[in-house]
């Protein structure tokens, strides 16, 4: 049997900047080993939040962190999820790239990787080969363990031929660290400029970097991850889907509407996930605004026949 040659360490580390760089191959489809060289930046980003005790806090820094959380969460939920994964509306090629760039700055990989794994999740939801099923693999794995493995590092390109035909999206996907690095550099530079020309704001480069990038990104991480984990365990089921998806108001608040997860699994193609007016879906409102401005169009509604179809029978008291 032919032995696989070990990959040089420098090629392994090159994947921090180029996801297509040569890496140690996975040992078959069931390889669940953590891809430690690739995980180091993920761990470092979490640890960097501790630097808040050195850089301090200011109203300006917290405001920047909050704005970047909301803007990037919208780019993930509205575009990585509802647009790239489910084609729930249409837009121009330019707008497609701009929002893909914003979403990529959230450090959740590129649009092809994100959409392809999500499409696979819907095709195999809570079945044994669902990469992040809580039912099959447990909380930690569904929350974040799955994307730290060698098996799930590459995009599932066969599932996204419609996206792979755009070279700019392939570029963002291959060099997935570029957008986050540019955002981090811009925040540091902005902080230093504010320290020099607007000292009353009491902020500087290191503070904006820690709050605007590190803390905001880590919060964004775990809010997004809860949809794979908590939204398949806690909440109510309106529809009798084949998976464990649930509707959860609290998760919907943190994720701008993604918490209406049972609705979404019942009819994934809709541009809205809060099916009724009382189900707060901030991403849907943002998409409606972009539609009114002509940035996007053809938002797919929830068909009336789907609203009452396959209702979960009420549980006995």
pLDDT, averaged across the chain: 91
Residue 245 placed within a domain: yes
**Dihedral of CA 30/33/36/42: which sign?**
positive
Cβ atoms of 113 and 155 closer than 8 Å: yes
Residue 312 placed within a domain: no
Residue 250 placed within a domain: yes
Task: Determine the average pLDDT of the residues in 220-227.
Answer: 97
Task: Determine the average pLDDT of the residues in 17-25.
Answer: 71
Residue 273 placed within a domain: yes
What are all long-range contacts of 175-179, with beta carbons under 8 Å and residues at least 24 apart?
A: 175/17, 175/18, 175/19, 176/19, 176/104, 176/109, 176/110, 176/113, 177/16, 177/17, 177/41, 178/17, 178/104, 179/101, 179/104, 179/105
Q: 316: which DSSP letter?
A: P
Q: Is 92 or 310 the better-scoring residue by pLDDT?
A: 92
**Domain that residue 76 falls in:** 48-307
Q: Residue 24: what pLDDT?
A: 56
Residue 22 placed within a domain: no
Residue 77: CA count within 13 A, CB half-sphere: 35
CA–CA distance, 273 with 262 (Å, rounded to integer): 9
C-beta atoms surrounding 265 within 10 Å = 24
Q: Residue 1: what pLDDT?
A: 40
Give the DSSP H or E segment for 220.
helix 216-225
Q: Residue 83: what pLDDT?
A: 98
Work out the pLDDT band at 31, boundaries 50, 70, 90: low
Q: Residue 317: what pLDDT?
A: 46
Question: Smallest Cα–Cα separation from 110: which of 54, 165, 63, 174?
Answer: 174
CA-angle at 258, arms to 239 and 315, nearest 5°: 25
Q: Residue 9: what pLDDT?
A: 60
Residue 158 placed within a domain: yes
Residue 137 placed within a domain: yes
pLDDT, tens digit, 9 for 90 and up, residues 146-169? 999 888 988 999 999 999 999 999
Cβ atoms of 264 and 246 closer than 8 Å: no
CA–CA distance, 315 with 234 (Å, rounded to integer): 15
Number of domains in the chain: 1
pTM of the model: 0.93
**Dihedral of CA 151/152/158/164: which sign?**
negative
Q: For residue 239, is pLDDT > 80? A: yes
First to last CA, the chain: 61
Residue 32 placed within a domain: no
pLDDT, tens digit, 9 for 90 and up, residues 200-218? 999 999 999 999 999 999 9
CA–CA distance, 136 with 146 (Å, rounded to integer): 12
């Amino acid at each position: 049997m032919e032995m696989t040659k070990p990959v040089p360490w420098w090629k392994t580390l090159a994947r921090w900047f180029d996801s297509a760089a040569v890496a140690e191959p996975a040992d078959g489809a069931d390889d669940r080993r953590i891809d430690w060289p690739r995980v180091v930046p993920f761990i470092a980003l979490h640890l960097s939040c501790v630097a808040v005790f050195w850089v301090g806090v200011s109203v300006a820094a917290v405001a920047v962190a909050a704005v970047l959380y909301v803007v990037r969460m919208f780019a993930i939920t509205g575009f990585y999820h509802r647009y790239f994964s489910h084609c729930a509306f249409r837009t121009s090629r330019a707008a497609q790239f701009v929002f893909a760039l914003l979403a990529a700055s959230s450090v959740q990989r590129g649009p092809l990787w994100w959409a392809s794994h999500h499409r696979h999740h819907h095709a195999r939801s809570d079945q044994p080969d669902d990469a992040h099923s809580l039912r099959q693999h447990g909380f930690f794995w569904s929350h974040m363990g799955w994307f730290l493995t060698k098996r799930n590092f590459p995009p599932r390109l066969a599932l996204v031929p419609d996206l792979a035909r755009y070279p700019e999206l392939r570029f963002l996907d291959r060099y997935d660290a570029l957008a986050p690095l540019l955002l981090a550099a811009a925040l540091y530079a902005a902080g230093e400029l504010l320290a020099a020309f607007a000292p009353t704001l009491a902020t500087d480069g290191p503070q904006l970097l820690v709050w605007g990038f590190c803390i905001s990104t880590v919060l964004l991480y775990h809010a997004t991850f809860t949809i794979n984990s908590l939204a398949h365990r806690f909440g109510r089921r309106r529809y009798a889907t084949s998976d464990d998806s649930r509707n959860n108001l609290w998760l919907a608040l943190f994720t701008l509407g993604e918490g209406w997860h049972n609705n979404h699994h019942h009819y994934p193609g809709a541009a809205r996930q809060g099916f009724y007016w009382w189900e707060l879906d901030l991403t849907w409102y943002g998409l409606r605004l972009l539609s009114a401005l002509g940035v996007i169009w053809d938002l797919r509604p929830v068909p009336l026949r789907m609203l009452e179809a396959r209702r979960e029978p009420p549980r006995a008291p």
